[in-house]
Amino acid sequence: MRYGGCHSDLMCYGYIVGVLLLSYSIVHVKASIHEYKNEAFITRFNSFFFHGGSEGLYASKVQYIAKPISEDKPLNGKSFIRFESITFRRTTEATNKQNEMQQKTGLVEAIIVEVKDRDKIGGSYLNSNAICCTPALANDGSCKVGEVIIRQDPDNPDRPKRIQTFFEGKHEEAKMLPQTVEINSTGMYYLYFMFCDPELKGIIINGRTVWRNPEGYLPGKMAPLMTFYGLMSLAYLVLGLVWFLRFVQYWKDIMQLHYHVTAVIGLGMFEMALWYFEYANFNSTGSRPMGITMWAVTFSAVKKTVSRLLILVVSMGYGVVRPTLAGLTSKVLLLGVIYFVASEALELVEHLGNINDFSGKARVFLVLPVALLDACFILWIFSSLSKTLEKLQIRRSMAKLELYRKFTNSLAVSVLLSVAWIGYELYFNATDPLSEWWQRAWIIPAFWTLLAYLLLVVICVLWAPSHNPTRFAYSEEMGDDLEEEGISLTGSGVKVAGDLATKVERKERKVSLATDHVFGLGEDLEEDKRE
């Protein structure tokens, strides 16, 4: 049997290699510093445009109306988009068609628009699909031929913001003047570079733009996550300290399962700390630190994998109703390896790629395997729990049965919450295609982190180290039957487990022990128990 859709080892390994190659091929570190390297424009209606970036930006806390923002002034409290070294290069054919004596031979415009003002760009309000002004529309005096149609806000004539750059004579390259546009209104902002002249087709853009919020370079929808990861680091630290104190207090009675729980707590602690420092560095520099991000992504993938494997082996009754996983070990490890690779690839693309949403096809290619593998884990976990509960009911191990019932209820609640949250995510994404709800977007990844932490807390409470760990541990000598009611056979070293309903039966059994042993009944009882 194969999990995660792999029908052979070759297919599994091929999938692993393919996912890794895809993830590394499309990873290119971006940040609030958007870099453009020989990027081309695409056609839309009667215009040509290039998407220069989109981010949620908060309004500046300190307004600078009289003086523009400059490099020699502190940036705290300022929110802006800065254009640095932006150049446009047209084709040689387009250049040769121009008149050398003509001052302006081509126009490229940078348009900064808040998402709620998107209807002010283009001719939709003029009952036209045109984005660029045509002679017919220019006759009405609403626009100028060769420019992008923009309906200015009477109360705020700078919105949407238009910045024009002209080619001169037969110059093949046009440089945009370095300038900074201050953001005085909170919103989701889009930057487009556009031109209307068909003769300029083939233009490429180089340079970069720097986007900054009042508190730093983190995009608005990511900024709350830095605080969240800081708080989660403290939460894991508190859980780790409590678990460590309990671990040390009962170190002589520690079960193998306790070491696995300790590993998950440690991984979670490092994961949250790395994400906090990664976001803090990103916020201060504007670029994601490759080293910290790689470590954070890897720890995240490892922790997710180990957490799922921990829940799976606990559901199988490892250390409680069975001493080992026996033949299931290879299948469990295979599922874990495949899940780690798929999760690592998805995390790499999401956190090392452009902060704008990446290609839908690439995302589906990486998200679907993770979702299918999660489904495999869920099915296998609940199937194993059902078998474990059935064994405990047959053996009437009431303490263990109650423990696993609580664990099952906790898992069921977490699955229901997960399904409900997935429904909310689908609704959120379907109703917010332009990221107008960007200020709430951080809650979606935060939920999964918090749910994983709460489930780990439940496991820590249920399987906490204690002075009597054998109450929930597998007992080899007793065959893991009713250890609370086991009886030693004098002189034989064999224990017989039975259902002793009353003290009278217990006394009668003690009287007959010697006789039973003499006539070989002890061996018969042991054989019956094995059957």
Instruction: State residue 6's pLDDT score.
Output: 45
Q: Is the pLDDT of residue 353 over 80?
A: no
Question: Please, how many CA atoms are within 13 Å of residue 471, restricted to the half-sphere of its CB?
Answer: 13
Question: Do 193 and 273 belong to one domain?
Answer: no
Question: Do 244 and 96 belong to one domain?
Answer: no
Question: Do 265 and 205 belong to one domain?
Answer: no
Instruction: State residue 77's pLDDT score.
Output: 84
Contact of 499 with 396, CB cutoff 8 Å: yes
DSSP per residue, 116-157: GGGGGBSSGGGT---SB--HHHHTTTSS-TTSB-B--BTTBT
Question: Do 164 and 296 belong to one domain?
Answer: no
Q: Is the pLDDT of residue 66 over 60?
A: no
Q: 165, 125, 129: which is closest to 142 by C-alpha?
A: 125
Last residue of a domain, one of 445, 471, 497: 471
Exposure string of 318-331, with b = 16+ CB inside 10 Å and e = fewer, is: bbbbbeebeebeee
- The overall average pLDDT reported for the chain is 78
Quick: pLDDT tens for 283-337. 998 888 888 889 999 999 999 999 999 999 888 887 666 666 667 778 889 999 9
Q: Is residue 486 part of a domain?
A: no
Q: Is residue 410 part of a domain?
A: yes
Residue in the block written with tokens 């693309």? 349
Q: Is the pLDDT of residue 23 over 70?
A: no
Task: Tell me phi and psi for residue 190, to 5 degrees.
Answer: -115, 140
Question: Do 340 and 433 belong to one domain?
Answer: yes
Report percent pLDDT > 90 for the chain: 46
Mean pLDDT: which of 28-32, 295-299, 399-403, 496-500 is highest? 295-299
Question: Do 234 and 204 belong to one domain?
Answer: no
Last residue of a domain, one of 471, 496, 513: 471
Task: Find the radius of gyration of the CA atoms of the chain.
Answer: 33
Question: Do 280 and 418 belong to one domain?
Answer: yes
DSSP per residue, 182-216: E--S-EEEEEEEEE--GGGTT-EEEEEEEEEBTTB
Contact of 258 with 266, CB cutoff 8 Å: no
Among the ranges given (154-158, 288-292, 309-313, 522-526), the one the predictor scored with the smallest mean pLDDT: 522-526
Confidence of residue 74 (pLDDT cuts 50, 70, 90): low
Question: Do 181 and 270 belong to one domain?
Answer: no
Question: Do 140 and 276 belong to one domain?
Answer: no
Instruction: State residue 366's pLDDT score.
Output: 80
Among the ranges given (65-79, 142-156, 191-205, 234-248), the one the predictor scored with the smallest mean pLDDT: 65-79
Q: Is residue 246 part of a domain?
A: yes
Q: Is the pLDDT of residue 438 over 50?
A: yes
Question: Do 252 and 125 belong to one domain?
Answer: no
Distances, alpha carbon 450 to alpha carbons 254, 435, 440, 444, 470, in Å = 27, 23, 16, 10, 31
Residue in the block written with tokens 């520690």? 254
Q: 356, 308, 361, 366: which is closest to 336 by C-alpha?
A: 308
- CA 55 to CA 211: how far, in whole Å? 8
Q: Is the pLDDT of residue 17 over 70?
A: no
The domain of 348 spans: 220-471
Q: 276, 271, 272, 336: which is closest to 298 by C-alpha?
A: 271
CB atoms < 10 A from the CB of 280, how many? 17
Comparison of pLDDT for 307 and 477, the residue scoring more: 307
Among the ranges given (14-18, 244-248, 298-302, 380-384), the one the predictor scored with the smallest mean pLDDT: 14-18
Task: Tell me phi and psi for residue 212, to 5 degrees.
Answer: -140, 140
Q: Is residue 339 part of a domain?
A: yes
CATH code, domain with 183: 2.60.120
Contact of 109 with 191, CB cutoff 8 Å: no
Confidence of residue 518 (pLDDT cuts 50, 70, 90): very low
Residues 498, 403, 234, CA angle at the centre, nearest 5°?
150
First to last CA, the chain: 28
CATH code, domain with 357: 1.20.1070
Contact of 219 with 31, CB cutoff 8 Å: no
Question: Do 265 and 371 belong to one domain?
Answer: yes
Instruction: State residue 136's pLDDT score.
Output: 81
Instruction: State residue 362's pLDDT score.
Output: 59
Question: Do 173 and 234 belong to one domain?
Answer: no
- CA 49 to CA 108: how far, in whole Å? 9
Q: Is residue 448 part of a domain?
A: yes
DSSP 318: B
Quick: pLDDT tens for 390-415. 888 887 778 788 888 999 999 999 99
Q: Is residue 3 part of a domain?
A: no
Q: 439, 444, 442: which is closest to 186 by C-alpha?
A: 439
Instruction: State residue 416's pLDDT score.
Output: 95
- CA 6 to CA 338: how far, in whole Å? 9
Amino acid, single-letter form, for residue 330:
S
- Mean pLDDT within 362-381: 86
pTM of the model: 0.76
Q: Is residue 508 part of a domain?
A: no
Contact of 418 with 451, CB cutoff 8 Å: yes
Instruction: State residue 373's pLDDT score.
Output: 93
Instruction: State residue 473's pLDDT score.
Output: 53
- Count of domains in the chain? 2
- CA 150 to CA 162: how far, in whole Å? 9
Q: Is residue 466 part of a domain?
A: yes
Last residue of a domain, one of 171, 191, 212: 212
Instruction: State residue 500's pLDDT score.
Output: 33
- Mean pLDDT within 441-450: 94
Q: What's the token pair of residue 395?
A: 């053996």
